[in-house]
Structure 1
C-alpha cells in the first residue's frame, strides 16, 4: 500500500487556485512551499496546526478539492482577522484517495507525528468512519463537513458533523416524492459498498412506504461498476414512476444515460452525493427533470452566504458546491470553538465544539445536538438545463 499523498498548505497568506468539480489539478505552492512526500515543514510556536483529510485523488476527487478550497478560505479569513489566541492557523492536508484505510492512516499520522489540535474531513461516510475511530482513540476532535451516515458520530464523543444526517435526507426525498411529485410507485438502485448509499436507501424506502407509497423494486450495484443495464432493465419491467438512486455523481451520471438508453424515461431521485458539475458532464440531458436533496442553494439571498459566494468566486473562479460550503462551515465552527475554549487541549476543544448553538453557517444555521449532529434545513434541487435549480426547502 503506497503512502498517502501529502500536501502541505500554509494558509496564513496564500490561496490555492483550483477549478471546482473538474479533474483536480495540483495545487499551486504557497510562499513557504508544499510537500508531496517526505518530511513536513516544521510548525513554529506561533502557529496552531489543524489536520485535513480528503479525497484529492480517486473517483470522488472533486469532493476533496472542494473541501480543501472551503477550508483554506475559512483559515485565510481567520488569519486576516488576527488568528486564534494570538497565533496563526495552518493546516496539514493528506489525501485519503477515497479509501477508508488511507484515511485512517492519515489521521494516525496527523495525531502522532503532526500533533494537530483538530481534524477536518472527510466527505464520504465510509472513510470518515475509519478516521473517526483513530480520532476518538487519540482524543482529538474531528469535524466532518458532509458525511451523512448516522454511524459516523456514533464512533465517539470527539466526532462531530455540520451537515444533516441520512434519516432526515431520506425523509426529505420520500416526502417530496409523495407530496410534491404525487408519486405512488418508485424503485431503488443503491450502491451496496457505500454506507451513505445503503443508509439513505433504507430510510427513503421505509418513509415512502410510511407515506402510503409502494417500492416496486430494489436493485444494487457495487462501486466501480460501469454497466448498470441489467439492474435498470429489471426495474423498468416493474413500471416505477421514478427511481431513487442515492449514489455519488460518478455513478449517477452513467446510470442516467443507460436508463434512457434502455427506455426507462422516469425521473431519477437522489441525495447530496449528486452535487458536482461532473454529474452534468457524465449524465448530460439524460438527467433533465431529475431531483436531489442538498445542503444549500447559491440562490439563497442570505447575506452571510452571499458574502462567502463572492469571496469564493473571486478566489477560485467558480461557484462553490455544497462540499465547499460545508467544509468552510466546518472550519469556521472549529475556529469559533477554539476561540471560546479555555485552552486547545482535546477535552477543552471537544467541549467547546459540542456547545455550538445557532452558528451562522453559509449552508444554514448550525446547532449541534446531543449526538453531535447538526440540526438544520435541507433543500431540494431540480436538474434543468444542465444545472441544479432550487425547488423548495425542508426544515427538521
Structure 2
C-alpha cells in the first residue's frame, strides 16, 4: 500500500473536494512491517489528520454518542474508550462512511457518577443519536440503559459487566463478557489451576460491579466445591485496609479475591503483602492496566492475577493492526476498554450494514444476530445481548502484566 502523495481541498465555506484519499486501514502484517521500515505511516497519519477537516458535513448526520467519564475520579479509565470510539468512526468515514453517510461522534461526560449517566443518556435522546457506546462502569450503564431502552436507542456498553445491564431491555447490548462468566472463570481458575479450595472476598460497598462480581464468584466457587471463609467490605476511595486484611489473615482463606478498581486494589495488594500475607490475590477486569503502576514495590505483585478482556500481546492480527494505527495517533493504549469501544462501534456498523438502514428498531434486530471477528476476538450475542467470547488471565512479571492463560466460555 502506498500512501497518497497529495491531498487538495478546494472551495469556500467548508465545501471541499478530496483529490486523494488514503486508505487508513492496513490489512496484513506484511504491510505493517513495510511501514515500520519506512516513513509511510507518518505520511498516512498526516494525511488522515488533514482529511478529517476535509470531510463535508451532511444533513441529518448519524450520531454515535459515547457516554463515560471525562472528569471525576474514574476519568483515568476512560481516555482510551473515547479515543478508540473516535478512531473507529474516523476510520469508517475515511473509507467512505456508512450507507453513504459520514458518521459523527459526540462525547458525553457523566463526571464519574451514575445519576449524571442518566442525564447524559437523556441528552443523547434529545440529540436523536443512532447509537450509544458505553458507559463502561456497571452502575453508570444501568442508569443510562433505563433511559435509552425507553427511547428505543441501541446501547453497546464497553466494560459494564454486571448482569443487570442487559436485563434492562432488548435495546441494550455489551461488548464485554459478564460478571457471571467472569465470576465462574475466576472461581474455576483458583480451584482448578491454583488448586486452592478456600477463599476470602474483599469487595466495595455500594458498587454494582463489585457486588455483582463478588456474588457470581461466591456462587461458582461454592458450586465447584470451594468454601468462601470470609467476606469483608470497604468504601470507595478508602486507603487503610488494615482491619479488613487482618480479618482475612486470621481466617482459613488460601486466596483473596478483590473485585474492585485499580486504586483500592493496589493499596490492598501493598498492605496485604507488608502484613506478611503471601496468599494469591486475584482480581477482575476493573484492575485494568493501572493497578500494577500504583504498587511502588513491584515485588509485592508476586502471585497476583487478574482477568482481562484483551491484552496487547494477543496473536490476533486484527488486534495488532488496530493497535499499530491507534498508537501511531494517540500514543500507548493503556486500558483494554479501548479495544472494546472499537469493537462496539464495529458491531454497530455491521448491524447497520446488515439492516441496510439506520432505523433503530431494525438495527436492534440486526445486532441480535450480528457476528464479527473483532480486536477482542470473535463476538456474537446471546438472547440477552451478552457476548459469547473468551477471557484472558494475566499475572505479573518484572512488575508488568503478562499473559498466563486463556479461559473459554
The TM-score normalised by the length of structure 1 is 0.86
For 2:386 and 2:291, the matched residues in 1 are separated by 28
For 1:164 and 1:184, the matched residues in 2 are separated by 25
Counterpart in the other structure of 2:214: 201
For 1:311 and 1:79, the matched residues in 2 are separated by 15
SS at match of 1:329: helix
**Pair 1:154-2:167 in alignment:** yes
For 2:60 and 2:97, the matched residues in 1 are separated by 10
**How far off its partner does 1:263 sit?**
2.2
**How far off its partner does 1:46 sit?**
6.2
**How far off its partner does 1:239 sit?**
4.1
Counterpart in the other structure of 2:346: 332
Native 8 Å contact 2:80 2:333 kept in 1:
no
For 2:133 and 2:51, the matched residues in 1 are separated by 22
Native 8 Å contact 2:245 2:272 kept in 1:
yes
Counterpart in the other structure of 2:293: 281
Structure number with the bigger relative contact order (C-alpha 8 A, sep ≥ 6) is: 1
**How far off its partner does 1:70 sit?**
1.3
Counterpart in the other structure of 2:266: 253
Aligned-residue Cα RMSD (Å) equals 2.2
For 1:141 and 1:324, the matched residues in 2 are separated by 19
**How far off its partner does 1:320 sit?**
4.8
Counterpart in the other structure of 1:94: 108
Counterpart in the other structure of 1:80: 94
Counterpart in the other structure of 1:131: 144
SS at match of 1:374: coil
**Pair 1:365-2:386 in alignment:** no
**How far off its partner does 1:117 sit?**
1.0
Q: What does 1:259-338 align with in structure 2 at a 5 Å threshold?
A: 259-276=272-289, 278-284=290-296, 285=298, 286-338=300-352
**Pair 1:177-2:211 in alignment:** no
Q: What does 1:138-149 align with in structure 2 at a 5 Å threshold?
A: 138-149=151-162
For 2:334 and 2:258, the matched residues in 1 are separated by 23
1:217 to 221, 230, 235: 230
Q: Deviations over 1:270-298 (max 9, x none)?
A: 1000012x312212323232001111222
**Pair 1:188-2:201 in alignment:** yes
SS at match of 1:343: coil
- When residues 64 and 32 of structure 1 are mapped into structure 2, their CA distance, relative to the original with a 3 A threshold, is farther
Q: Give ranges in structure 1 of 5+ residues lacking alignment.
A: 1-11, 16-29, 34-42
For 2:314 and 2:51, the matched residues in 1 are separated by 37
Counterpart in the other structure of 1:69: 83
For 1:69 and 1:268, the matched residues in 2 are separated by 31
**How far off its partner does 1:363 sit?**
0.4
For 1:152 and 1:252, the matched residues in 2 are separated by 24
**Pair 1:108-2:122 in alignment:** yes
Counterpart in the other structure of 1:168: 181
Counterpart in the other structure of 2:34: none
For 2:407 and 2:64, the matched residues in 1 are separated by 33
For 1:264 and 1:368, the matched residues in 2 are separated by 41
Counterpart in the other structure of 1:49: 63
Counterpart in the other structure of 1:351: 365
Q: Give ranges in structure 2 of 5+ residues lacking alignment.
A: 1-20, 25-48
Native 8 Å contact 1:46 1:87 kept in 2:
no
Counterpart in the other structure of 1:7: none
For 1:82 and 1:342, the matched residues in 2 are separated by 15
Q: Deviations over 1:94-133 (max 9, x none)?
A: 1112211111101101111x22111111110000000000
SS at match of 2:123: helix
Counterpart in the other structure of 1:229: 242
**How far off its partner does 1:167 sit?**
0.9
For 1:65 and 1:379, the matched residues in 2 are separated by 22
For 2:348 and 2:391, the matched residues in 1 are separated by 22
Native 8 Å contact 1:252 1:283 kept in 2:
no
Counterpart in the other structure of 2:6: none
Task: Give 1 or 2 for the bigger CA radius of gyration.
Answer: 2
**Pair 1:382-2:398 in alignment:** no
For 2:106 and 2:326, the matched residues in 1 are separated by 21
For 2:131 and 2:333, the matched residues in 1 are separated by 27
Q: What does 1:15-54 align with in structure 2 at a 5 Å threshold?
A: 44-45=58-59, 47-54=61-68
The TM-score normalised by the length of structure 2 is 0.84
